[in-house]
């Protein structure tokens, strides 16, 4: 079997898995504020928690494009379940794969791929969100290791994770550490009252003078922001880009199904052109968004440096259209769309989260525009030179 065929079969299989074991229970997970351990175990047994990791570490070995398609299938089922992949697989495992040393990779990646250990990413703090370079969690060097002190907030899967990839600071130097739950001084508490991601075990993580051995430093001390955080957020953005497509696609399916079953004024509401316009716009935007995600995936496969900006564009666009399409889906459902009996109410709330996490839309707009300001600039001297050449050719022709 070719590599491509094998990967496509994984996508078909995960689509069925998500339709059977995840999507019908998304509301229940939210109400119970937890993803059942049995589901995490089932996903781990199928290798889903290491979907993008190499086979030698126990992963499925999906390339970037197929991992994206994989993320979409899980995300269509439930955003909280998809967020497990975002933090555990994309943010932590893929970053460790890139920057961990051989011992760290051999020790941790098989545990992550098989779900024996669940990992989460600890960057944000009560006072630090978008300005990630200003983390206040402190570390200091001691004999054979480091001591960490601080508090992390909004940590997805923080309440059940076994391992925390913690970003901390010391005299302006930012470093990444793998902190294990059993280390003395580590504690977590769940955050309640959330708009969405209610089953994603979002928590605060407290580090009270936690000793971390030198062997648990990821990358070089001081490389935490420019390389570890950048790598993690790049993987996270790619995951969220596909998460946006997943929510948008799920909302489209709900919208189409409802419009074909709901009758008003004596006919099914899909007959109304204004409903058709919403369906058409949703389809067009989803196709456009998926194309951006696929392009980002191809560039990632090639390890092309343009993949970073393309991933940023894909994340910005897909989170935006997920919001727009879920707003339209609620509108098509009318009063029913405002009630949690129907999935569009949840999809609408989940979409909002995507415009905030892994870089707010506003920060991403700034990054994208700065890229454009460089890439599409035509210095006057160059334009004049082209014009004079053209003039010369024209004059000679005459």
User: How far apart are CB 24 and another protein at their closest, in Å?
Assistant: 40
Q: Which of 117, 116, 126, 188 is nearest to 159 (CA)?
A: 188
Q: Which of 314, 289, 298 is nearest to 364 (CA)?
A: 314
User: How far apart are CB 126 and another protein at their closest, in Å?
Assistant: 23
Where does residue 265 rank: exposed (0-12), middle (13-18), buried (19+ CB within 10 A)? exposed
Q: Let me know: does 209 contact 154? Beta carbons within 8 Å.
A: no
User: How far apart are CB 227 and another protein at their closest, in Å?
Assistant: 4
Please list, in sequence order, all residues whose beta carbon lies within 8 angstroms of the beta carbon of residue 25, skipping any fewer than 6 positions away: 78
Q: Can you read off the two tokens belonging to residue 211?
A: 């000793």
Q: Let me know: does 137 contact 189? Beta carbons within 8 Å.
A: no
Smaller CB separation from another protein, 116 or 370: 370
Annotated catalytic residue 358: yes
Map residue 35 onto helix, strand or coil: coil
Smaller CB separation from another protein, 79 or 231: 231
User: How far apart are CB 105 and another protein at their closest, in Å?
Assistant: 10
Q: Let me know: does 167 contact 122? Beta carbons within 8 Å.
A: yes
Q: Which of 121, 169, 172 is nearest to 146 (CA)?
A: 169
From the list 169, 345, 350, 358, the catalytic residue is: 358
Q: Can you read off the two tokens belonging to residue 76?
A: 């269509």
User: How far apart are CB 379 and another protein at their closest, in Å?
Assistant: 6
Smaller CB separation from another protein, 17 or 121: 121
Q: Is residue 251 within a helix (H) or strand (E), and if so which, with residue range? A: helix 230-261
Smaller CB separation from another protein, 5 or 374: 374
Give the pairing type, strands 145-155 and 203-213. Answer: antiparallel
Where does residue 381 rank: exposed (0-12), middle (13-18), buried (19+ CB within 10 A)? exposed
Alpha carbon distance 151, 393 (integer Å): 68
Give the pairing type, strands 163-170 and 119-122. Answer: parallel
Interface with another protein (CB under 8 A): 99-101, 133, 218-220, 222-223, 225-227, 230-231, 234, 302-305, 307-309, 367, 370, 373-375, 377, 379
Neighbours of 140 (CB within 10 A): 12
Alpha carbon distance 321, 347 (integer Å): 12
φ, ψ of residue 260 to 5 degrees: the values are: -90, -10
Q: With helix as H, strand as E and coil as C, how does 265-291 read? A: CCEEHHHCHHHHHHHHHHHHHHHHHHH
Smaller CB separation from another protein, 235 or 290: 235
User: How far apart are CB 133 and another protein at their closest, in Å?
Assistant: 7
Residues forming a β-bridge with 315: none
Smaller CB separation from another protein, 267 or 374: 374
Smaller CB separation from another protein, 137 or 311: 311
Smaller CB separation from another protein, 61 or 359: 359
Alpha carbon distance 300, 296 (integer Å): 6
User: How far apart are CB 103 and another protein at their closest, in Å?
Assistant: 11
User: How far apart are CB 375 and another protein at their closest, in Å?
Assistant: 8
Report, as residue numbers or ranges, the catalytic residues: 358
């Amino acid at each position: 079997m070719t590599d491509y065929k094998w990967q496509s079969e994984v996508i078909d299989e995960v689509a069925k898995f998500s339709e059977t074991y995840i999507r019908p229970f998304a509301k229940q997970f939210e109400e119970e504020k937890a993803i059942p351990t049995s589901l995490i175990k089932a996903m781990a047994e199928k290798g889903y928690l290491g979907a993008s990791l190499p086979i030698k570490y126990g992963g499925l070995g999906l390339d970037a494009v197929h991992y994206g398609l994989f993320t979409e299938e899980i995300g269509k089922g439930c955003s909280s379940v998809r967020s497990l992949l975002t933090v555990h697989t994309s943010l932590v495992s893929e970053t460790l794969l890139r920057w961990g040393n051989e011992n760290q990779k051999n020790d941790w990646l098989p545990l992550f791929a098989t779900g024996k250990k669940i990992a989460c990413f600890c960057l944000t703090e009560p006072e630090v969100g978008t300005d990630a370079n200003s983390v206040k969690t402190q570390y200091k060097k001691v004999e054979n290791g480091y001591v960490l002190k601080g508090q992390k907030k909004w940590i997805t899967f923080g309440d059940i994770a076994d391992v925390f990839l913690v970003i901390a600071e010391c005299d302006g130097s930012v470093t990444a550490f793998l902190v294990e739950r059993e280390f003395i001084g580590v504690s977590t508490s769940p955050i309640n009252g959330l708009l969405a991601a209610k089953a994603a075990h979002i928590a605060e993580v407290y580090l009270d003078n936690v000793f971390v051995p030198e062997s648990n430093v990821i990358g070089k001390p001081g490389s935490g922001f420019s390389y570890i955080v950048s790598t993690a957020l790049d993987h996270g953005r790619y995951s969220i880009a596909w998460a946006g497509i997943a929510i948008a696609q799920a909302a489209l399916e709900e919208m189409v199904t409802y419009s074909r079953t709901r009758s008003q004024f004596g006919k099914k509401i899909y007959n109304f052109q204004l409903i058709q316009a919403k369906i058409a716009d949703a389809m067009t935007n989803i196709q456009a968004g998926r194309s951006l995600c696929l392009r980002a995936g191809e560039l990632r496969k090639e390890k092309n440096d343009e993949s970073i900006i393309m991933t940023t564009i894909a994340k910005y666009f897909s989170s935006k259209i997920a919001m727009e399409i879920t707003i339209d889906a609620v509108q098509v459902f009318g009063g029913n769309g405002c009630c949690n009996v129907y999935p569009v109410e949840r999809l609408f709330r989940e979409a909002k989260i995507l415009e905030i996490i892994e870089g707010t839309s506003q920060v991403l707009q700034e990054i994208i525009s700065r890229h454009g300001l460089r890439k599409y600039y035509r210095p006057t001297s160059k334009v004049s030179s082209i014009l004079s050449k053209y003039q010369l050719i024209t004059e000679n022709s005459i």
